[in-house]
Structure 1
Amino acid sequence: MLAKPKSEAELLQRAQSLAGFSLGELAQREGFSIPKNLKREKGWGGQLIEWCLGASAGSKPIQDFPELGIELKTIPIDSQGKPLESTYVCITPLCQVTGLTWHSSNVYNKLSRVLWIPILAERQIPVEQRVVATPLLWSPSAAQEQLLREDWEELMDMIAFGQIEQITARHGQVLQLRPKAANNKARTDAIGPNGQIIQTLPRGYYLKTRFTAELLRQHFQL
C-alpha cells in the first residue's frame, strides 16, 4: 500500500494516474485476487482503489483521507457517463438523534469534499475489464448543499418522531434512506411511534442517481 498522500494535489495526481487502467491491471499490479463477480464482494473495486491511493480510514466512520478532509467514492457508470446505481454515503443513527445538526452530521462530514472515481462498469463487462475513468474532486455548491440539508433534516425529523418504518426510498429530493445490512436478520434500536425503543433494520443514506448524474454532467460537460 502506498504511503498516505500529503496533499490534495498529490491525491488528485495519484487518482489521475489510475485513469485508463482496468481493474484487472491494477489488481495484478497490487497483488489483489480478482473475484469472478461482485455479488459477494460488492466493495472489492472500492477497496482496490483505496489501496492504490493510500487511503487510511478502512471501515471507520470517518473520511477516507481524514488528514486531508477528503472522502473517496467510486461510482459505476455506463458508456455515456451516467451512474448505474445510487451512492452509499454512511449509516445513520436511529436513536439519540435529538440535538443533531446538519453541520455535525456524518453525511455533511462525508460529502463536504469528495474524490469521485468513476468506473466504466456496465453489467456485461467482466470485473477485470472494467476501466477507471477520469477522477473528479468535488465540494457541493451552495444550491447542492441546500438540497442535501433539506433532505437530511426532513429524514432526521421522521426518525426523531418515530416514523422510521414510514420512510421509503422515494423520500428526499437527492438523498434517500434505505436499509443497509448484510442480511434481513440484522437489527438495531430505533425510536418507535410512541417514543418507545423498537428493533429495525439498520439504515444508510444514499445519494440518488439523478444527483450524481447531474454532478458528473456539470463537471465533464456531458
Structure 2
Amino acid sequence: MKKISSPLTEQALLQRANAIAGLTFSELAEELGISVPADLKRDKGWVGQLIETALGAKAGSKPEQDFAHLGIELKTIPINAQGYPLETTFVSLAPLVQNSGVDWQHSHVKHKLSKVLWIPVQGERSIPLAERYIGQPILWQPNPQQEQRLRQDWEELMEYIVLGHVEKINATLGEVLQLRPKGANSRALTKGIGKHGELIDTLPLGFYLRKAFTAEILQNFLQAR
C-alpha cells in the first residue's frame, strides 16, 4: 500500500481532493495498491479508509479531527443519483459519564464539525463497488444558523444523558442531530447514568447528522457554484 504524507496546508488538501474527484474506486485503489472488496458487507469502512489513505488523513478512530493540524474533519458521504445522502453521518460518541459541566463550545461535536471536508461518493448498491465514482469535494463550515440548530439539538440530547434519562432517547429526537446506539452489537455495553444518578450498563451512543441536514449542505454547495 502506498504511503501518502499528510498535506501541510488547506490548499494542498483541497488540491488532492480535487485530483481524486472523477475517479472510480478501482482506479484510486489501483493507484494506492489497495484491493477492492466485492461489496461492503464485511468491509463497511472500506470507502472511508480508501479516501483517508488517498488524502493522507492521520487520525483514524481517535477523537481528534482527521487533519488536526489544519483543523479539518474528513467525511465521505454516499449519495444516490439525485445527489441525496443515503445514510446518516456519524460525528462522535456521546459522553455518557463524567459529563457534568460539558458545554457546546467544548464538545466533541462542535470540534469535529467546525470545518469539514465532505467527499460525496456514489453509494447506490446497484452499482458495483469498483465502478462507483468519487465526487467533487466540499469544504464546509457551519453558518451561524446551522450552528444554532446543531447546538440546540446537542444541548437537548445531552440533557437526557446528564439527567439519567438514557432509556428515553430515541432516533426521533433532534432536528439535525440524533443519538443512536453505536456498537458492533447489543453486547457492546458501556457505563451510563441511571435515573437515580447510579451507574448503569447501557449501549454506547453516537451523535449522527440527519440526512436532511447533510443534503442541505450539498445543495447549498451546488447552488453557490
Residue aligned with 2:47, SS: helix
Paired position in structure 1 for 2:129:
127
Distance of 1:191 and 1:35 partners within structure 2: 41
Distance of 2:143 and 2:84 partners within structure 1: 20
Shift of 1:68: 0.1
Paired position in structure 1 for 2:51:
49
TM-score normalised to structure 1 length:
0.98
Q: Alpha carbon RMSD of aligned pairs, Å?
A: 0.9
Shift of 1:221: 2.1
Paired position in structure 2 for 1:27:
29
Paired position in structure 1 for 2:109:
107
4+ aligned runs moved over 4 Å, structure 1: none
Shift of 1:56: 1.1
Deviations 1:37-58 (A, max 9, x none): 1122111000010000011111
Paired position in structure 1 for 2:160:
158
Give the number of equivalent residue pairs.
222
Distance of 1:91 and 1:160 partners within structure 2: 15
The one-letter amino acid paired with 2:42 is R
Distance of 1:91 and 1:127 partners within structure 2: 28
The one-letter amino acid paired with 1:200 is T
Q: 2:65 aligned to 63, 66, 80, which one? A: 63
Deviations 1:163-210 (A, max 9, x none): 111111110000000000011110000000111110011010100000
Q: Which runs of 5+ in 1 are unaligned?
A: none
Residue aligned with 1:117, SS: strand
The one-letter amino acid paired with 2:152 is E
Deviations 1:2-54 (A, max 9, x none): 11101101101100001100111111111111111112211100001000001
**1:52-91 matched pairs, under 5 angstroms:** 52-91=54-93
The one-letter amino acid paired with 1:20 is G
**1:187-206 matched pairs, under 5 angstroms:** 187-206=189-208
Distance of 1:129 and 1:121 partners within structure 2: 11
Distance of 1:25 and 1:201 partners within structure 2: 39
Q: 1:139 aligned to 114, 117, 141, which one? A: 141
